[in-house]
Amino acid sequence: MKNTESLKRADEAGVSQGELIRKRFLKHKGAIAGVLTLIFITLLSFTSVGVVIGGTGKLFVDATGNFAIDGFRIPGWWQYNWYENYDIVNTGGTPTFTLAPFAFGEHPFGQDTLGKDIFARVMRGIQQSLTVMFVIGIMTTVIGVLVGAIAGYFRGWLDSVLMRFTDVIIIIPVLILGAVVGKAFSGGSALFLAFFLGLFLWTGLSRLVRAEFLSLREREFVDAARVAGAGPGRIIFKHILPNAIGVIIVNTTLLMSAAILLETSLSFLGFGITAPDISLGQIISEYQEAFSTRPWLFWWPGLFLILIALSINFIGDGLRDAFDPRQRRFAVKTDGLFAGLISSIRGAKGGANAKK
């Protein structure tokens, strides 16, 4: 009895906040499965067909009339690439992947009517979609945290101006941004699309960060830092930001799962990443008419897309439980592509509650 008690106390004594969070996260089975799946998919897509370094990574037709890539390509272990036509192995291009006997064959995910290898296409699509997702995640975090922190810490007219500016950005439909990239910059590269979208999608996060800063700046440790002579920059980044990190991480994760669905939706509609360039949404859009005759063209990209979005949602859920076991929020997804608006408004709602 006494033994277990002392053990328990020893257990409690040495656990830091970070360790507590890590433990809670590791206990969340769904989140761990999500992390593993995401790592697996990322590694698979980047090692299999190789990466393109430098340049835009876009396809173009060179002088000899063949497709070429803008940039230097490091080949991967998969023998086919995503833009050349190959001889059709199975009639109709059906997948060579079989469970009994277990075999991958030449084209495990099948081929399209021209003989393109679907495995290579899907892998390249995943690369592009993941790139967009991560870039949007980083961009929105940086801008959102900066705007939210400045507005929340300084308050006053700066806050009003920044928040009205946020309101303006929120109402702009995402589809228009896609159209600008798609039409004015003739497709642009995946990186460019992500960069451009990231410039506009930070609004929800900035409102959440602002609300968090508004309440944290009134706490004693901030006063203590100020009395000790710390400047605003130091207080914001060294004292308040670490305390708001939970909100930021959780919402960035959820935003990333929304971002990959957004990119694929835009590409599906013909904005964003367009043919001959590849993304998961573009592949699905290209092959949607073929569903009844060649369903494998359609199953694989969709399956990977769902797997990615699902893993990230589970990771986000695990992170939220780990950072704040009480709080359970879930953002509503809408099909209107005005989703940024909705989530941002909801972000403000969270802020209102925090003030209460």
Partner 1 sequence: MIAFAVRRLFATVLVLLAASFVVYLLTAISGDPLLELRGSSDPSAQDKIAYLTKALNLDTPPVFRYFLWLAGVGGCFIGQCDLGIAVSRGEQPVIEALAGAMVSTIQLLTLATIVAIVLGVAIGMSTALRQYSGYDYTVTFMTFVFYSLPIFWFAVLLKEWGAIRFNRFLGNPEIPLWMVALIALGTGAAWMGIVGGSSKLRGQVFLISGGLTFVSLQSLLMFGWFEKPSLGLFGIILGSIIVSAIVISLTTGFANRKMLKATAVVVGFWLVAWYPLQFLFFFVPELWTLLVLVAVAIGVAYLAGTIFGGDDKKQIIRATGIISILVFGVLIIDRVLQVWSDYQKIIPQAQGIISTIGAKTPNLQGDMWFAMLDGFGHLLLPTIALSIGSLAAYTRYARSSLLEVMNQDYVRTARAKGLAERTVIMRHAFRNAMIPIVTIVAFDIGGLIGGAIITERIFAWQGMGSLFNLGLQALDLNLVMGVFLITGFVAVVFNVIADIAYAALDPRIRLT
| Contact stretch for partner 1 (CB under 8 A) within 4-12, 61-69, 175-183, 238-246 | 175-183
SS3 assignment, position 74: strand
From residue 114, give the alpha-carbon distance in Å to each of 18, 88, 163, 323. 53, 8, 52, 50
Q: Quick one: 85 or 288, whose CB is closer to partner 1?
A: 288
Residue 211 near residue 163 (C-beta atoms within 8 A): no
The minimum distance between CB 103 and partner 1, in angstroms, equals: 27
- Crossing angle for the helix pair 118-154 and 245-269, nearest 10 degrees? 140
Contact code string over 259-298 relative to partner 1, x by CB under 8 A: --x--xx--xxxx---------x--xx--x--xx-----x
Residue 46 near residue 333 (C-beta atoms within 8 A): no
The minimum distance between CB 248 and partner 1, in angstroms, equals: 21
CA dihedral 173→175→178→182, nearest 10 degrees, is -130
Say which DSSP state 44 is in.
H
Tell whether residue 332 is a contact of partner 1 (CB under 8 A): yes
Phi, psi of 188 (to 5 degrees): 60, 170
DSSP string across 216-280: HTTSHHHHHHHHTT--HHHIIIIIIGGGGHHHHHHHHHHHHHHHHHHHHHHHHHTSSS-TTS--H
Q: Quick one: 241 or 341, whose CB is closer to partner 1?
A: 341
Among 138, 146, 172, 245, the residue binding partner 1 under the rule CB under 8 A is 172
- Tokens encoding 128: 């592009």
| Contact stretch for partner 1 (CB under 8 A) within 10-18, 58-66, 106-114, 305-313 | 305-313
Q: List binders of partner 1 among 179-208 (CB under 8 A).
A: 179-180, 183-184
Q: Quick one: 44 or 345, whose CB is closer to partner 1?
A: 345
The minimum distance between CB 163 and partner 1, in angstroms, equals: 10
Q: Quick one: 67 or 165, whose CB is closer to partner 1?
A: 165
Cis status of the peptide bond prior to 276, with omega within 30 of 0:
yes
The minimum distance between CB 180 and partner 1, in angstroms, equals: 5
The minimum distance between CB 126 and partner 1, in angstroms, equals: 14
Site size with partner 1, rule: CB under 8 A: 57
Distance CA 146, CA 144 (A): 6
Q: Quick one: 81 or 189, whose CB is closer to partner 1?
A: 189
Q: Quick one: 2 or 328, whose CB is closer to partner 1?
A: 328
Tell whether residue 333 is a contact of partner 1 (CB under 8 A): yes
Tell whether residue 36 is a contact of partner 1 (CB under 8 A): no
Q: List binders of partner 1 among 106-165 (CB under 8 A).
A: 164
Distance CA 88, CA 96 (A): 11
Buried b (16+ CB within 10 A) or exposed e, 321-344: bbbeeeeeeebeeeeebebbbbbb
Tell whether residue 310 is a contact of partner 1 (CB under 8 A): yes
* Footprint on this chain of partner 1 (rule: CB under 8 A): 30, 164, 167-169, 171-173, 175-177, 179-180, 183-184, 257, 261, 264-265, 268-271, 281, 284-285, 288, 291-292, 298, 302, 305-306, 309-310, 313-314, 317, 328-339, 341-342, 345-346, 349, 352, 356
